Amino acid sequence: MPLGTLDRSPPPFFRQGPSALTKLALCSALALLLMVADARFKLMQPARAALALVLHPVQRLLLTPVDAWENAGDYLRGTQRAMQAEDLARRQLALQAERLSRAEALQAENDRLRKLLGLQPSLAVPSLAAEVLYEAPDPFSRRVVIDRGATQGVLAGSPVINEAGVLGQVTRVYPLSSEVTLLTDKDAAIPLLNARTQMRNAAAGRPDGSGMELRFLAANADVKVGDLLTTSGLDGVYPPGLPVAKVATVERRGDSSFAQVQLAPIAQPDSARHVLVLLPHDRHLAAKKEAEVAAADEAASAAAAKSAARAAKKAERAEKAAAKASGGTP
């Protein structure tokens, strides 16, 4: 057989492809190309999404034992926390019951003392619940907008409070919303009463809107850090006794006859979400006096009507007695 006709190619088992280094270089280049194309043109995003969709049931199936173990642990821990919370709630309920009984006794004693001294009873100011919508767009003021307006009975000048204390005052009223100027606004002011010394003063917002300060306070005034300041009620707007702020810093300088007192508002306006709008104190007093006058007029009218009815009955009885005495018929 001629040698030229022989097949000199190696059998498939011994065939050698590209070298390992060549394969590594090709795979590295392909991987780099795919990464750049995916980062730049998001070419692999559909394939990745399809692969994730296909593998999602498998992943959920493999995670089932882990989820069951974690849910069992959460159930046991939740049961323990619920029992601890129930125990704490029971203790707090007992404490609140004790405080409530003492508060009722103090309220009864206060009512008796007010009656003894002839003082006016404390007023229950009407309120309207509202929600803070957003802050006013003016960057140079501290104002918020609430979702109650003239349609719901909000009046300009109404105090606005939350569960902590006084927030501010309604300054603009629209049909379905109102604008509230916060106490930290540079144009806001409020009369205060020091709960410790019973000294009255007025506070105003700082120019930078970061807090409040007492102005024109004598350097030798009895004020300390931590003093609680409440509304005095002298302005006829805020009801007395509402917490407003605490004294944060007191600075007395020798070259000034006034002390610099910085206040920290108790009600934080940045975290206020739900508020109460109160009726102005002077208008509440006027409405109460009008109601008392109307009630007195009504009582006087009823008494006059009763007196007239009694007089008519007496006249009728007198006529009947006179008719009997004359022998006529009534």
Q: Are residues 228 and 91 in the same domain?
A: no
pLDDT at 170 over 90: yes
Q: Could you tell me if residue 222 is inside a domain?
A: yes
CATH of the domain at 191: 2.40.10.340
110 and 136 both lie in a single domain:
no
The total of structural domains in the chain comes to 2
Residue 6 has pLDDT above 70, yes or no: no
3-state secondary structure of 215: strand
Return the pLDDT at 136: 81
Q: What is the pLDDT of residue 230?
A: 92
Contact 218, 252 (CB under 8 A): no
Return the pLDDT at 225.
92
Within a domain: 289: no
Q: Is the pLDDT of residue 183 over 80?
A: yes
Assigned domain for 241 exists: yes
Confidence of residue 228 (pLDDT cuts 50, 70, 90): very high
What's residue 116's pLDDT? 67
Mean pLDDT lowest among 52-56, 158-162, 290-294: 290-294
How far apart, in whole angstroms, are the C-alpha atoms of residue 251 and residue 226?
14
pLDDT more than 90, % of the chain? 17
Question: Within a domain: residue 229?
Answer: yes
Q: Could you tell me if 133 and 116 lie in one domain?
A: no
- Looking at per-residue pLDDT, the higher value among 275 and 59 belongs to 275
122, 152, 183: which is the final residue of a domain? Answer: 122
**Same structural domain, 99 and 136:** no
- Which pLDDT score, from 0 to 100, does residue 78 have? 87
Answer with the one of 94, 122, 150 that is the final residue of a domain: 122
Q: Are residues 147 and 110 in the same domain?
A: no
Q: Are residue 159 and residue 209 in the same domain, yes or no?
A: yes
Distances 250 to 134, 183, 209, 224, 254 between C-alpha atoms, Å: 34, 19, 19, 7, 13
DSSP single-letter state for residue 63: H
Please state, as a whole number, how many other Cβ atoms lie within 10 Å of the Cβ of residue 242. 19
Average pLDDT over every residue of 105-118: 75
Based on the fold, state whether residues 133 and 266 are members of the same structural domain. yes
Nearest CA to 196 out of 239, 231, 228 is that of 228
**pLDDT for the residue 330:** 44
Mean pLDDT along residues 190-201:
91
Range of the domain at 139: 129-284
Residue 272 φ/ψ, nearest 5 degrees: -75, 130
Instruction: Answer for the pair 148, 279: CB distance below 8 angstroms, yes or no.
Output: no
Which DSSP string corresponds to 238-299? SPTT-EEEEEEEEE--TT-SEEEEEEEESS-GGG--EEEEEPPHHHHHHHHHHHHHHHHHHH
**Over 50: is that where the pLDDT of 212 sits?**
yes
Tell me the pTM: 0.53
What are the tens digits of pLDDT across the range 17-48? 677 888 889 999 988 888 888 788 777 778 77
The yes-or-no verdict on residue 113 having pLDDT over 70 is yes
pLDDT-derived band of residue 329, with 50, 70 and 90 as boundaries? very low
Q: What is the pLDDT of residue 3?
A: 52
* Sign of the C-alpha dihedral computed for residues 49, 50, 53 and 54 taken in this order: negative
Residue 27 inside a domain? The answer is: no
Same domain, 268 and 156: yes
Q: Do 273 and 152 share a structural domain? A: yes
Residue that finishes a domain, picked among 82, 106, 122 = 122
Position 330 in a domain: no
pLDDT at 327: 60
**Is residue 297 assigned to a domain?**
no
Query: Does any domain span residue 64?
Result: yes
Same domain for 54 and 177? no
Examine the pLDDT at 190 and tell me if it is beyond 80: yes
Whether the pLDDT of residue 227 is over 90: the answer is: yes
Q: Which residue has the higher pLDDT, 209 or 244?
A: 244
If one compares 112 and 273, the residue with the highest pLDDT of the two is 273
Residues 153 and 261 in one domain: yes
Average pLDDT over residues 263-279: 87
Q: With a cut of 70, say whether residue 285 has pLDDT above it.
A: no
Residues 6+ apart with CB under 8 A from 10: 16
Residues 164 and 277 in one domain: yes
CB atoms closer than 10 angstroms to residue 291: 10
The two structure tokens encoding residue 322 = 């006179």
